[in-house]
């Protein structure tokens, strides 16, 4: 069964600090891995997308890494801002016939002033 596990479940940091969120997956073979940001009560918004051959992808203060051998990804947020408070969801899409992506439960990040 395809699974995506994220850690930590929740995280509280002070404004200006850096943090790293983790994602482990079992989806294989996979087409791509995405990180989404979801504000409370809103739909998810794509932050980064990586194919199996990519190791890192940046989007402003967000940097995602991927190790396809160990099936792990991380999302690093630099110089956090209050607006970074949200849920961050890791999503892995398979290849070969099914287009159904597998979503993690997300990491809830709270940035305090």
Provide the binding-site residues for another protein, judged by CB under 8 A. Answer: 4, 31-32, 34, 41-46, 49, 89, 91, 93, 98-101, 103-106, 108
Closest listed residue to residue 23, CA positions, set 60, 48, 40, 53: 48
Closest listed residue to residue 111, CA positions, set 90, 88, 93: 88
How far apart are the C-alpha atoms of 12 and 15, rounded to whole Å? Answer: 10
Closer by beta carbon to another protein, 3 or else 18: 3
Q: How far is the CB of 16 from another protein (least distance, A)?
A: 27
Q: How far is the CB of 79 from another protein (least distance, A)?
A: 26
Q: How far is the CB of 4 from another protein (least distance, A)?
A: 8
Alpha-carbon 62 to chain mean position: 10
Closer by beta carbon to another protein, 74 or else 108: 108
């Amino acid at each position: 069964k395809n699974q995506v596990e994220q850690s930590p479940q929740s995280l509280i940091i002070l404004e200006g600090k850096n943090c790293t969120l983790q994602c482990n997956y079992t989806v294989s073979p996979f087409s791509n891995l995405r990180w989404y940001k979801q504000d409370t009560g809103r739909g998810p918004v794509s932050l980064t997308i990586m194919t199996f051959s990519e190791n890192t992808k940046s989007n402003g203060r967000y940097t995602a890494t991927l190790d396809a051998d160990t099936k792990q990804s991380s999302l690093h947020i630099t110089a956090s801002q209050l607006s970074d408070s949200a849920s961050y969801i890791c999503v892995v899409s398979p290849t070969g016939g099914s287009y159904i992506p597998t979503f993690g439960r997300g990491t809830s990040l709270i940035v305090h002033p």
